[in-house]
Structure 1
Amino acid sequence: MKIRIILPIRGDALIPEVLNEARHWALPTTTIDAVSLHSGSTSIESEYDDVMNGPGILAQVKQAAADKVDAIFVTCFADPAVPAAREIADMPVVGGFEPAVLTALGLGERIAFITVLPEVLPMLRALSRSYGIESRIAPPRVVNIPVQQLTDRRKLLAALLEQAKDAVVTRNEADVIVLGCTGMLGVAQDLQAALLEATHVHVPVVDPTAAAITWLESAHRMGLRPSRTTYMPPLNPH
């Protein structure tokens, strides 16, 4: 199968890292490419960014459909424009939030998101409400590192570990950790190992990119795509 990754931001700088992470999780028979937006903000860290970048995301979704890819991953934990994308694409489409949450719900009772900045928290709370899972979600946490600075892996891992230990041990409010930003690349397994070493108890850490890629592969194998009783095609497509 072929997966098209859409970076819902302006700029190509992150494409090599995103592709490397996605291909790490994909099956050998899966091919993956990636595109970004021609205009818009350089990160999605607020509702404003989400709305501003929506038209560019949908333009790339239309191009992916024309290119006859098998699935689309909009690589952002806020799931920007994903429901709209499902209305215009006859293929599985996910962002980072939904597949990560669906994975985490099967691993433990209480889930803690660790994301980048306080500005993102209202978006995650709104998504949790929309999926009706508030009772399973611990208070979300932040590492106070902007998306564009997540490339410092040592700093990121230290901040993630501090928040994870506090959620799991100090406050006893989480059984599963979900990385709340798809820009947190290549740290999930290291965080899980470090958390085990620090607490002597296994707590799963869900990587949203891994969850998205493997979910899309499973949906494709099962011949599944969005329901047209939920994601109805627009009456006036442009």
Structure 2
Amino acid sequence: MHLRVILPIIGDTFIEQIRTEVSAWVTAGTEVDVVSISRGPASIESEYDEALAGPGILERVAEATRDGVDAIFVSCGADPAIQAAREITDVPVVGGFEPAMLTALTLGERVGILQVLPNVLPMLRSLARRHAIADRLGTIRVIDLPVLGLAHDDVLVDRLVAQARAAVRDGEADVLVLGCTGMLGVAAAVQDRLAADGPAVPVVDPTAAAVQWLESQVRMRLTASRTTYRTPPAKERIA
């Protein structure tokens, strides 16, 4: 299997970190490559950022399709341009939100999301409504760290644990999802610290959920439905 990871941001700062993280989750024999976009924002933390990233993401999706990849992961918890991407490719494509949330729904009644900044809350609530899971979204808690500030693991884990504990204590969540794919390699640490202080509460890593979701779809030979994701009509377009 050939998995293409698209970072929906400009620059190559996170490419090696993402490649290492994804490679740790894929099964033996899966080839992983990672690309960023040539135009768009440095991070996605608002609807504006997401809109700016869209054209670059779709360029990379079309490129991945021409390259003959088997699956595409757009590494962002806001699922930017995912619906549009499914209209232009015949391979499975997901972002970070949908696989993580659907996995979480199998593990407990109320799902809590741990997210970076208040700016993204409306985006996530909109995604929850789109997927008809808003009534099981117990809370979205913010750690007040920007995406570009997530590299400091100790600070990140401490803030995630503090918000996770509060969500569980207040009865807002039975399962927790890391809401940003930039929260690399910390899900197990957060889960272990929660378990040490109280009941075991699962913490879903969005990258792990997305990668394993895609591998399953490829093995089952599943692709997006063409009655939902119809091929766009032929017409003149200026990209």
Deviation string 1:97-133 (CA, Å, 9 cap, x unpaired) is 0000110000000000000000010000100111111
Determine if the alignment matches structure 1 residue 139 to structure 2 residue 119.
Answer: no
The answer to whether the 8 A contact 2:138-2:172 is kept is: yes
Q: Which residue of 2 aligns with 1:33?
A: 33
Gaps of 5+ in 1: none
Q: Which residue of 1 aligns with 2:166?
A: 166
Partners in 2 of 1:89 and 1:54 — Cα distance?
15
Determine if the alignment matches structure 1 residue 24 to structure 2 residue 24.
Answer: yes
RMSD: 0.7
Report the CA distance between 1:40 and its aligned residue. 1.0
Partners in 1 of 2:229 and 2:24 — Cα distance?
31
Q: Which residue of 2 aligns with 1:3?
A: 3
The alignment-based identity, stated in percent, is 55
Q: Which residue of 2 aligns with 1:194?
A: 193
Aligned length in residues: 236
Report the CA distance between 1:236 and its aligned residue. 2.7
Partners in 2 of 1:34 and 1:13 — Cα distance?
12
Report the CA distance between 1:172 and its aligned residue. 1.2
Partners in 1 of 2:200 and 2:234 — Cα distance?
51
Q: Which amino acid aligns with 2:131?
A: Y
Q: Which amino acid aligns with 2:228?
A: T
Partners in 2 of 1:222 and 1:29 — Cα distance?
16
Partners in 2 of 1:69 and 1:85 — Cα distance?
14
The answer to whether the 8 A contact 2:6-2:75 is kept is: yes
Partners in 2 of 1:233 and 1:59 — Cα distance?
16
Partners in 2 of 1:5 and 1:215 — Cα distance?
14
Partners in 2 of 1:172 and 1:215 — Cα distance?
29
- Matches for 1:150-229 after TM superposition, within 5 Å: 150-169=150-169, 171-199=170-198, 201-229=199-227
Q: Which amino acid aligns with 1:104?
A: A
Q: Which residue of 1 aligns with 2:43?
A: 43
Partners in 2 of 1:161 and 1:198 — Cα distance?
11
The answer to whether the 8 A contact 2:139-2:173 is kept is: no
Q: Give me the TM-score of the superposition, normalised by structure 1.
A: 0.98
Q: Give me the TM-score of the superposition, normalised by structure 2.
A: 0.97
Deviation string 1:61-91 (CA, Å, 9 cap, x unpaired) is 0000000000000000000000000000000
Picking from 231, 234, 238, the partner of 1:233 is 231
